[in-house]
Every structure is written in structure tokens, then in C-alpha cells.
Amino acid sequence: MTVFVCSAQHPFISDSGAHFSIVAKEYLDKHFPNWEKKRLPTKEMNFKSTSENVTLIGTVIKEIIIPHREGNIRINPESVVLEDSHIQGFLLATHFQRMYGIDIHNSKNRHKQGKEIFT
């Protein structure tokens, strides 16, 4: 999926298994060169990834606009910045999906094929 951040398109991963929204330092360095000026301190926490060894270096808040035909969704997630991560884009965790009413469990048993929704 593609979202808009600072008026530009960026890759977006919605991960129902993630406990934190994440963005890689390398990705921020490439697309948002001044991001460190707005970096927020992070509390001491034991951060682990099952797929890669990463180092937590702070958090950032970026407005993300998720395009939708019935109206865009604007969110301001606090994303953990990871060094040595291979994520190319923004990963949105479960708590933000629920907070904004995104149905991560398909509770209404709707299935989409193309533009048609089937129940």
C-alpha cells in the first residue's frame, strides 16, 4: 500500500502482529534528511525483533495520509526509529489500526475483489 507523508508517496505496511509502529533510520535519512531535528527521546525499553538485530535510537511523529475512496484517513503515529532495520517505508502497528477503526480482523466478513465488496 502507498501512503502520503509530507506530500510524497511512501510504502506502508499494516502489521497486525506488530506492537510498535516502526520506521528505519536509513529510510528516514534518505527521504527526510532533517528528521533528527524532530527526534523524540525514547524511554529505556528492551526492544526485540524476531527477524533482525536492531538498535532503538528514538521516535518520530510523521503525519500519514492513507488514501480511501470515501475520505482519506489522517493519522499521526509515534514511530520507533530503528538502526540496522531493512524496512523500506512505514510499518503501522495494531494499536493505531484499532484506534482509527481499521478492521484488522475482518469482523464483518467482507471480502474485496477489485473494487467490489462481497459479504
- Give the pLDDT confidence score for residue 81 in this predicted structure: 92
Q: What is the largest CA-CA distance in the chain?
A: 47
Q: What is the pTM of this model?
A: 0.73
Per-residue pLDDT for the chain (119 aa), expressed as one digit of tens each? 778 888 888 888 877 777 788 899 999 999 999 999 989 887 766 666 666 677 888 999 988 888 877 788 888 888 889 988 888 988 888 766 667 666 555 555 555 545 555 55
| Domains of the chain by start residue, with CATH | 2-114 (2.40.70.10)
User: Among 16, 18, 104, 9, which residue's Cα sits nearest to residue 65?
Assistant: 9
| Three cell numbers written together for 93 | 502497528
Integer-rounded Cα Rg, in Å, for the chain is 15
